[in-house]
Amino acid sequence: MDEANNNMYGEIEEIIDNIEQRFNQINKFSILDYPPYDHHFFKYDRNSKNMGLESAFRQRIEKEWLLLENKLPSSILVKSYEKRIDLMRTVIVGPPNTPYAHGLFFFDLLFPRNYPNCPPRIHYHSYNLDLNEFLDPKGKVTLSLLEGGNFVTNWYCGVQGKWNPEKSNILQVLTTIQTSILSTTRVNPSGREGYKKAFTLTCKGMIYMLRRPLMNFRDFVEGYFRTRAHYILLNYKKQMDGSDLMVNLFHELYRAFEQNGTYCKHHRLVDLPAKEKIKQPRVC
């Protein structure tokens, strides 16, 4: 990420190890040979004739690739697959000043045979968390640019209404998810309780991702949270209400980040029980 190494926390100097080195080498857009077997649409039956080198389908997908390579914001990462050009996997960083800030949100994409006449199919990796009404725990994404979606306005790309085969593209879909669905106005129920629910579920998602990163994104997940742990914990402390739920979740985050190699001891609220102590990472 472009801003990944900015504003290091206080006087703590982290060791730049292999995880961070690999993270710093990750491109916003890349094309791998094969998709991972944990891709939601991996077993989708694709007729290879529709993906021939000279096919209109391939030409359109390659046009999408070029657009993503040149126009993706630094807060969205996409991986495509040469042997399955109908599939993509992407991660979107939650926007600042929202309950989703610093969170990661993963989506698997499938381009249908008649794309772009029909919009892409998208599966959200929810980790069974009911984040908001537009991201279903079962993986459905409700968006105007997708089939069966609700009307959404995206100021970032100027997109309004439903999918238009002549004008719509996957970049618009991804930025609309980020700027419309992952926003404070999309918190349900609204108000402080709705905000806190979305915030705590976003933090739970961080823990689940670190425990079991999606394939092709392990280096990104580990490196991202290595560089963001301090800011996440500082932000968490600002949101804390003193409830047992939030205190316990803070300790879970703390342990997950330290197990991932970030020195976080200066963030501890209280001493943890001996059975919960973990091996501390090395620091300079």
Asked, for residue 10, whether it belongs to a domain, the answer is no
Domain around 51: 18-276
Nearest to 23 by CA among 221, 229, 213, 223: 223
Asked, for residue 47, whether it belongs to a domain, the answer is yes
- Please state the domain count of the chain: 1
Asked, for residue 8, whether it belongs to a domain, the answer is no
- Can you tell me whether residue 109 is helix, strand or coil? strand
Phi, psi values for residue 31, rounded to 5°: -120, 115
Predicted model pTM: 0.83
Averages of pLDDT over runs of 10 residues in the chain (284 residues) are: 44 59 90 96 71 76 97 97 96 96 97 91 96 93 70 40 88 95 83 91 97 96 95 93 91 94 82 43 37
Which pLDDT does position 3 carry in this prediction? 47
Asked, for residue 161, whether it belongs to a domain, the answer is yes
Asked, for residue 284, whether it belongs to a domain, the answer is no
How far is 22 from 105, CA to CA, in rounded Å? 20
Asked, for residue 119, whether it belongs to a domain, the answer is yes
Asked, for residue 213, whether it belongs to a domain, the answer is yes
- Domain of 269, CATH number, reads 3.10.110.10
How far is 114 from 57, CA to CA, in rounded Å? 8
How far is 175 from 166, CA to CA, in rounded Å? 18
User: 49 and 25 in contact (C-beta within 8 Å)?
Assistant: no
Asked, for residue 7, whether it belongs to a domain, the answer is no
Which pLDDT does position 101 carry in this prediction? 95
